[in-house]
Amino acid sequence: MISDLTQRIFHLKYLKFYLISTLFGLLALLPLLIRGPFYSHILIMIFLHAAAAASWNLIGGYAGQLSLGHAAFYGIGAYTSTLLFVQWGISPWLGMLVGGGVAAVVAGLFSFPCFKLRGPFFTLATIAFGEVVRILAIYFRGLTRGAIGITIPFRPGIENLMFHGKMAYCYFALVTMMTVFFVSFLIERSRFGYYLVALRGDEDAAQALGVNTTMCKLMAMMLSAFFTAICGTFAAQYVLFIEPISEFSIDRSILFALISIIGGIGTAAGPIIGSFILTPLQEFLRAWLGGQYQGLHIFIYGCILIAVVMLLPEGVIVWVRTFVKRITYYVNIS
């Protein structure tokens, strides 16, 4: 009787669900356990980068359209909510959604003609797009205040999405990350998700099976831009200062892609795993070595990236999967 019940509870089908809920439970406790603003900051950046990378993963991972222009959407999110707040006092909560909408529309307009380009040519177009948006943001000084940037006045309160201390930011970033994770998780199991993975494999073959590949890519791109912009708004509310060169920098686009690739491209958990590796690595290396030897932290960071890509070309998630398989194996024999 009892063994029958345990067998049913520990059924393979649910095990993944249990693991994921336990992990998220532990993640929710993490902000309470961590002491000191430096570590809290790292945790916020981990969650934020994971959310942005997971958004990138919708188009770059599942659909295989390698975009290196996502900083544009991030910047659009940051600028839209900030300008609405600074100029008209509109709450960043609303600004966040408006920013997401603007980013999605821009993404649609830009990518619709560009989806005719395949492989590296699409990537080149996204790089150009990101650069153009950055230059426009510097150029239109009347709207964006150009390279000087905008300082967001600190008026703490839930309605302004600004808080004293880092705890609230931590949880907000965690919720954003979990939202994008669950959206990816649901897409992965839906018709839309199957279509995206199929068109990544072979666009002609997908079309022959009734997949409107352009429409699927467009939807994935717009969804991806929407969530990336939300991450941008959050970052602006956290740092309280935005300026075009860092908001729209290609380094940021590369970081989002890199986190997904290191973690496991085209998987829901990959970007989260990737962010837990890369973000702390970057921050710690910078903190330890940045002051003493100029550029050494970037050198070591690069070496570690090369090593990971060579050893685990399909991402760290491969390790995690074998680990989970081993657990299910032991659960089954016991």
Partner 1 sequence: MMLLQAQKITKRFGGLMALKEVDLQIERGEIIGLIGPNGAGKTTLFNVISGFYFPSSGNILFEGRDITSLRAYQTCRLGIARTFQIVKPFGNMTVLQNVMVGNFCRMRSTREVKKEAFEILDLAGLSGKENELAKSLTLPDRKRLELAKALATKPKFLLLDEVNAGLNPTEISQVLNILRKVRDEWGVTLLVIEHLMTVIMNLSERIVVLSYGEKIAEGTPEEVSTNQKVIEAYLGEEDEE
By CB under 8 A, is residue 113 in contact with partner 1? Answer: no
| CA-closest candidate to residue 133, choices 222, 236, 223, 250 | 250
By CB under 8 A, is residue 66 in contact with partner 1? Answer: no
Segment near partner 1 (CB under 8 A); pick from 12-20, 136-144, 186-194, 256-264: 186-194
Q: Is 150 helix (H, G, I), strand (E, B) or coil?
A: strand
Among 208, 291, 295, 310, binds partner 1 (CB under 8 A): 208
Residue 296 CB, nearest distance to partner 1 (Å)?
38
Among 15, 19, 20, 197, binds partner 1 (CB under 8 A): 197
Among all chains, which residue has been given the structure tokens 């990971």? 308
Residue 213 CB, nearest distance to partner 1 (Å)?
7
Q: Give residue 129's Cα distance to chain centre.
A: 19
What residue type is assigned to position 217 of the chain?
Answer: K
By CB under 8 A, is residue 212 in contact with partner 1? Answer: yes
CB 73 within 8 A of CB 229: yes
Segment near partner 1 (CB under 8 A); pick from 37-45, 166-174, 195-203, 326-334: 195-203
Alpha helices in 147-190 (DSSP H): 167-188
- Give the chain's length: 334
Residue 204 CB, nearest distance to partner 1 (Å)?
6
By CB under 8 A, is residue 189 in contact with partner 1? Answer: yes
Using a CB cutoff of 8 Å and minimum separation of 24, what contacts does 302-308 make? 305/258, 305/262, 308/262, 308/277
| Residue nearer to partner 1 on the CB measure, 142 or 210 | 210
| Residue nearer to partner 1 on the CB measure, 189 or 325 | 189
